[in-house]
Amino acid sequence: MRDTTQELERWLHAGGKLAGQISIACADDGWELRHTDDAERGDLAAFSKWEDARSLANFDDAGSFRPLKTAPNLRHGWRLVLRDAHSVRLALDYFYPAMLGVWLAHSRGELVPVEFHETLGRQTGMYRITQKLTHEQAQRLIAKQCPSNGGCLKTILWQISKGIPVSLLPPEKFRADATPADALPLLCHEACNILVAAARKMVKEETPAP
Ligand code: SF4
């Protein structure tokens, strides 16, 4: 935990200023976080506790729950001023859960991506049916669920199966090194449960009845 805060602090002092849809700036009394679209706004609601990030992250502008925190639908209209990097780290864990740790593991060369079909192969119970997902279905599914414009901001590090990359999304979607130096990489090293649930729905809908 201490390492994560130290690495975050180092990154901030080196000019890091973006995490997903959040811009982070040095303020008189610590660090200020706000939506990147709100850079020029002077009418933002003020928050000052890292715990406030939880409610800010949970609902979009329409008040709907955000099951996927890396979806590009972070709500607008707030500024969160935090006194130190430790508080920024805790807040970022609400906004983008686990992303700091994943980034650090990746930068140390310790992050091991898991192929999509390996993830599906581990499913049990009502999700075991996802093991019937074909490669063609997987391509369509990922193209629908994961695109950065409307789906998810993460960079995908995994393949569908060994030697079978995702082919229906732009190349930048798979390049961690395409993240600007002042932005915190949001990395997907294993398919999330939302994609697995969508795989189940696709298999059920597209498998002919016996
Ligand atoms: S599988 Fe990864 S990239 Fe796709 S929606 Fe889930 S977290 Fe985002």
Question: pLDDT per residue over 43-76, tens digit each?
Answer: 999 999 999 999 999 999 999 999 999 999 999 9
pLDDT of residue 134: 97
Q: Which residues, judged by CB distance below 6 Å to any ligand atom, belong to the binding site of ligand 1?
A: 68, 70, 145-146, 151-152, 154, 156, 188, 191-192, 194-195
Distance 71 CA to ligand 1 centre (A): 9
85 and 125 part of one domain: no
CA 45–ligand 1 middle distance (angstroms): 30
Nearest to 133 by CA among 210, 206, 191: 206
My answer on whether 144 and 65 are in the same domain is no
> The whole model's pTM is what?
0.95
Return the residue whose CA atom lies nearest to atom 7 of ligand 1.
Answer: 192
pLDDT digits (tens, 9 = 90+) for 141-187: 999 999 999 999 999 999 999 999 999 999 999 999 999 999 999 99
Q: Distance, CA 142 to ligand 1 centroid (Å)?
A: 8
Give me the count of residues in the chain: 210
63 CA distance to ligand 1 centroid (A)? 22
Q: Do 77 and 122 have their domain in common? A: no
Residue 103 in any domain: the answer is no
pLDDT (tens digit, 9 = 90+) per residue, 86-111?
A: 999 999 999 999 999 999 999 999 99
Q: Which of 62, 97, 132 marks a domain boundary?
A: 97
Residue range(s) defining the domain that contains residue 160: 116-206
What is the Cα–Cα distance from 12 to 4, expressed in whole angstroms? 12
According to DSSP H, which parts of 61-166 are helical?
85-95, 99-107, 116-121, 135-145
Task: Report how many domains make up the chain.
Answer: 2
